[in-house]
Every structure is written in C-alpha cells, then in structure tokens.
C-alpha cells in the first residue's frame, strides 16, 4: 500500500509541477520556436529571426504567446513529488530491512562471516549455510574450504556449536573428506586435568579428567560412543601410578562436560611431605557406534604441582565467617510430610550456599543420634539429601526430631578443588512427622 500511494503521489506531483512550470499565456505574440525570441513588430519581409537567425518561413517556425510561470502550482507539484519520494524511500527501507539478503550472499562471503568471532549475524549465516549443504548447493571446493575454515577454529576457546553443526552437516551429506572427518573427531575432545593442590600424607590424591566436547549442538559422529580413559601419574624422580578409571558412554541426554575421577591409592608407594611435580598422561579411546567412523585415540599430557602436608595437618581449611552465618542457615531447608513414609523421614535441601560445604547429616531424638548421610556442595549449587533410616537396629520413633549438619572436612579432601569448607554446625528446627 505504501508503494502504491508513493507512486500515485509522484505521478500527480510531476503533472502538477509541469503545469505550473508551463504557466499561463499572457499575450498572442509570435515567438521564435528555436530560441523563444518575441517577434512582435518584426518587418513584414523579414525571413529570419533577428536573434538566432532561424528561418521563419518554414513550417512550425513560430509558437504563439508568451507564458508566465505559475509559482503556486509549481510549488504544490514539487511538494507532492517530494512527499512521494519520502514515502517511496520509507517503503524501500522497510523492504530492505525485511529482505533476506543472506540467501543471496555468495558462499565465500558467508564463509568469512560465519567464522568471524564478533559477527552479530553468525547464527543466521550458519543456518543459511546448513540449508545450502542439505540442499546440495555449493561446489565441492567451496564446501571443502568451509569445513577447513571451521576445523581451524575448532581448537580455540570460542568454539561455537553452530560451527559443529555445519561440519556434521557436511559429514551427513557425504561432502567431507575422510581426513576432515578424522580431524574433526580428534579435535572434538578437549581434555583438562585437575589435581588436588595439597593433600595430607597418607591420604588418597584425587585426580580428575574433564572432557569438553567442541562439536555441534548434538554429539553427531560420537553419539553413543564409549570413552575409555587410561590415566598415568608419575612423580618427577619418583614412582608411577596407573589409575583405574571406568569408561562412560556419550549419551546425548547427559550434559557436557563429562568427568572421570580417580585417586592414588595411599596403600602404595608413600609420598614424602613437601612440594612435588606430577606428570599426568591420558589416553582416551573412543569407540564410535556410527558406521564409517573409526576408533579414535586421543593422547594428552600435562605437568601439575601439588604439596604434601604432614600426617597431623589437614588439607582442608575450616572457616566459620559470622557474616555468612545468616545466608548459610537460609540455604538449608527440611522437606517433610506430616507422617512417616516407611524408612524415609523426608528430604534435606541445600540451595545456593555462599561457600563450599561438607557435612555429616545426623538425626537427633531424645539424646540419640543417627548418621543418615554425608554430602558436599559447591557455592551456588543445589543438593537434595534423603533422610533414610533403613538398615538401622534402633530407629527414630514418630515424634519430634532435629537434623544436625556437622562439618566433615575429610569429605572435601577427596575432591580436586575444594580447599576450604564452612566450619559451623547447622541445626534444623524439629519436625513432628
């Protein structure tokens, strides 16, 4: 509609402006058609225009009457034409903003745009490229250059899952070479080692292997693959441990990353107190379930330092900050019904503690205490602990009970990164199930 109004006003404006500029006739003098000179009172025998010398004896050599510009009409026509140009410009801007220019952009330009880190249209460009891949558009050379550009970014920290979707789209459509597929699978796994920075002599030394996947929004070629890690830890100038770690299947429903936990058995060679440097090596064997994808072996290594404390010391700092006491008490909730449910008294929840916590959970009733569980939670995390009394010879009886949370720093000593925990005992008000 805006286009129609704009063109109509432009037509009317041009007509009105032309009429105004043409003006109205003010006399009936003969004028030279060639130069417009007024030939009024010219000699009868004159055969040429005295101004330009044009032959006045030829046919249509004259036009009749001088004309005066009609300024109001010309101005009105110009205004209408200007308004029409403004409306047409607005309509063109709206059309340009709604037009899908990406669909008409050459693939080489889209390739440069999709790998740009700060590109605001990266998601739309990736969708367009994926649509072209599934539609079979683009030459084999263009697709190969696109996949190579994405694989070059796969090892960076700012990896985008949309890039992985593009590579997996090329694999599904059979437009990626075997070398590109192998490189993509090799680079999909980013391995990070974690080693507890301090431990007490005689305690296990926790080791963790964190695997992040730089792939698409789905696991693609590695969906359902079995991951078998082999971890070796060697002290500089000391013994070597081969850690046993259970494998895991890459279930698409399991959120990434996945971690593998292990620990040095304290019953083996002892580690003297002091600072040590550990050389960690890991071999990940990936057994893809998809046909056409070969077994993948990924080797990673890192050197990490740690400190061994004397036997009487603690590797976990116990902190009781009065400023955090209110927030810590508010983080604990007791969820229980109005009657016993078999051996379950209810649930205890810990939501968003201000600092790491490690507790033993005790039920207290009539000066008797029962240990019902242990748990550890990081800051701003959530834990849900069932209060179960199954397997106990003497159980709480229906009536008023209280739940105590007693600090358990030894539980935190089994982690790779929690070095301090809350040190105060929390008491949840009694309930009467």
CATH of the domain at 337: 2.60.40
pLDDT at 339: 53
> 9 and 56 share a domain?
yes
> 266 and 225 share a domain?
yes
> 63 and 79 share a domain?
yes
Nearest to 428 by CA among 396, 402, 410: 402
DSSP 324: G
Contact 10, 85 (CB under 8 A): yes
> 209 and 303 share a domain?
yes
CA angle 410, 415, 421 (to 5 degrees): 55
pLDDT at 99: 62
**R_g of the chain, CA atoms, integer Å:** 42
Give pLDDT < 70 ranges for the chain: 99-101, 117-119, 157, 219-221, 252-256, 266-268, 290-293, 336-344, 391-392, 430-433
pLDDT at 43: 78
- What own/partner pairs with CB < 8 Å and gap ≥ 24 does 151-156 have? 151/180, 151/183, 151/184, 151/187, 153/115, 154/184, 154/187, 154/188, 154/214, 155/187, 155/214
What is the count of structural domains for the chain?
A: 4
Residue numbers of the domain that contains 415: 317-431
Last residue of a domain, one of 176, 201, 232: 176
Residue 411: CB partners within 8 Å, gap ≥ 6?
A: 358, 359, 360, 374, 375, 376
pLDDT at 262: 86
CA angle 51, 54, 60 (to 5 degrees): 120
Q: Where does 240-392 have alpha helices with state H?
A: 325-330
State how far the Cα of 308 lies from the Cα of 208, in Å rounded to an integer.
18
Scanning the structure block, which residue is given the tokens 């009487």?
Answer: 312
113 SS3 class? helix
> 391 and 283 share a domain?
no
Question: Is residue 183 in some structural domain?
Answer: no
> 94 and 139 share a domain?
no
Q: Is the pTM of this model over 0.75?
A: no
> 93 and 34 share a domain?
yes
pLDDT at 377: 92
Give 269-291 pLDDT, tens digit per residue: 778 888 999 999 998 888 877 66
pLDDT at 343: 65
pLDDT at 302: 92
Q: Bin 45: left if φ > 0, else alpha if -120 < ψ < 50, else beta.
A: alpha
Contact 406, 359 (CB under 8 A): yes
pLDDT at 340: 56
Question: Is residue 181 in some structural domain?
Answer: no
């Amino acid at each position: 509609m805006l286009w129609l109004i704009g063109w109509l006003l432009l037509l009317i404006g041009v007509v009105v402006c032309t009429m105004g500029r043409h003006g109205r006739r003010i006399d009936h003098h003969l004028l030279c058609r060639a130069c417009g000179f007024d030939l009024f009172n010219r000699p009868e025998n004159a055969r040429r225009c005295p101004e330009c010398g044009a032959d006045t004896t030829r046919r249509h050599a004259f036009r009749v009457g001088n004309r005066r510009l009609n300024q109001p009409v010309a101005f009105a026509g110009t205004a209408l034409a200007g308004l029409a140009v403004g409306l047409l410009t607005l309509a063109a801007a709206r059309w340009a903003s709604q037009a899908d220019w990406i669909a008409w952009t050459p693939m080489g330009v889209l390739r440069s745009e999709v790998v740009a880190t700060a590109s605001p249209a990266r998601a739309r460009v990736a969708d367009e490229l994926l649509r072209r891949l599934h539609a079979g558009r683009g030459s084999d050379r263009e697709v190969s250059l696109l996949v190579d550009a994405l694989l070059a970014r796969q090892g960076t920290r700012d990896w985008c899952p949309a890039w992985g979707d593009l590579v997996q789209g090329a694999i599904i459509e059979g437009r990626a070479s075997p070398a590109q597929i192998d490189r993509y699978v090799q680079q999909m796994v980013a391995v990070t080692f974690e080693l507890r920075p301090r431990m007490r002599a005689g305690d296990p030394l926790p080791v963790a292997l964190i695997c992040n996947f730089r792939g698409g929004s789905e696991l693609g070629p590695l969906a359902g693959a079995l991951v078998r890690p082999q971890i070796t830890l060697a002290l500089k100038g000391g013994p070597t441990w081969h850690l046993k770690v259970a494998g895991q299947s890459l279930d698409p429903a399991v959120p990434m990353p996945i971690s593998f936990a292990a620990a040095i058995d304290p019953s083996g060679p002892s580690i003297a107190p002091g600072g040590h440097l550990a050389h960690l090596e890991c071999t990940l064997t990936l057994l893809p379930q998809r046909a056409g994808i070969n077994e993948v072996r990924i080797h990673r290594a890192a050197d990490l330092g740690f400190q061994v404390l004397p036997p009487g010391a603690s590797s976990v700092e116990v902190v009781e900050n009065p400023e955090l006491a209110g927030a810590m008490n508010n983080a604990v909730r007791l969820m229980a019904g109005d009657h016993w449910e078999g051996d379950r008294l209810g649930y205890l929840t810990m939501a968003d503690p201000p600092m790491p916590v490690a507790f033993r959970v005790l039920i207290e009733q009539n000066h008797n205490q029962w240990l019902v569980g242990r748990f550890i939670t990081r800051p701003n995390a959530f834990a849900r602990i069932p209060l179960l009394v199954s397997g106990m010879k003497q159980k709480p009886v229906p009536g008023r009970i209280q739940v105590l949370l007693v600090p358990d720093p030894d539980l935190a000593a089994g982690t790779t990164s929690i070095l301090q925990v809350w040190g105060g005992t929390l008491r949840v008000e009694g309930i009467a199930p």
